[in-house]
Amino acid sequence: MARKAKSRPYHHGDLREALVASATEMIEEGGPSSFTLRECARRAGVSHAAPKNHFATAEDLIAEVAARGFEHFVAALAQAADRSVDQSPDARLTAMCRAYVDFARSHRGVYGLMFRERSGFAKSEHLRTAARAAWEQLHQAVAAVTGPGRRDTDAKAAHVWSLVHGIASLTIDRRFPEIIDPEAVIATSVASLPAAIRSVGPPR
């Protein structure tokens, strides 16, 4: 009787990418707290020890997921701005702010991870670079609206980020009162941002 062929050892052309994809999938499904390295390895089709060939710890892998999240976030906002029919600085910033909320809704798990402090995040250069790129993208969009010669661009950019991040978080966590229409909040707040950041605050 012919011997049954043994199953071939799992071989992945790019195990690192498979692990990142599996980790991202897990975090999108159940949030950052649902992640375990063993389950991630199982989904990638490798032994629980195999991830150590690419990521020394589970935190290193999660940091990579967060970094990729920021990169996708920056790309989504850039695409939204470029697709805007009106290419004025105001319209581009407004489109980016709407895309911010849409990204949060579509990627709740990774979005939550991106803005969460974890023990392994501090040593990830990739994550620091990706997060800095997101800030610089927003800063440039705000500077285009406020115009040259402003000394408060950093504060205005932080204002925009704080407002939109707060709206996105309240929306995906369903924290608005029932009488509040989140879509109306998003539309009104985003539409008023360009004029708000162009205004000059009271002198100190």
Element (H, E) at 93: helix 89-106
Q: What is the CATH number of domain 13-55?
A: 1.10.10
% pLDDT > 70, the chain? 92
Share above pLDDT 90 across residues of the chain, in percent, rounded to a whole number: 70
Predicted confidence band of residue 6 (pLDDT cuts 50, 70, 90):
very low
Say what the pLDDT of residue 5 is.
40
Q: What is the spatial distance between Cα 187 and Cα 96, in angstroms, rounded to a whole number?
A: 13
pTM over 0.85: yes
Q: Say if residue 7's pLDDT is above 60.
A: no
65-198 and 13-55 share a CATH fold: no
User: What does each C-alpha distance from 119 to 23, 63, 176, 189 come to in angstroms?
Assistant: 17, 9, 31, 34
CB 176 within 8 A of CB 185: yes
Beta carbons of 91 and 129 less than 8 angstroms apart: no
pLDDT interval class at 3 (50, 70, 90): very low
The CATH classification of domain 65-198, taken from the options 3.40.50.1100, 3.30.70.100, 3.90.79.10, 1.10.357.10: 1.10.357.10
pLDDT at residue number 97: 97
Largest CA distance in the chain: 91
Could you read off the pLDDT of 22-56 as tens digits, one per residue? 999 999 999 888 999 889 999 988 877 888 888 88
Specify the pLDDT at position 200: 74
Of the spans 47-51, 129-133, 178-182, which averages the highest pLDDT?
129-133
Q: Is the pLDDT of residue 10 over 80?
A: no
State both tokens at 200: 């000059």
Q: Where are the domains of the chain?
A: 13-55, 65-198
The model's pLDDT over 74-84, given as tens digits with 9 standing for 90+, comes to: 999 999 999 99
90-101 pLDDT, tens per residue?
999 999 999 999
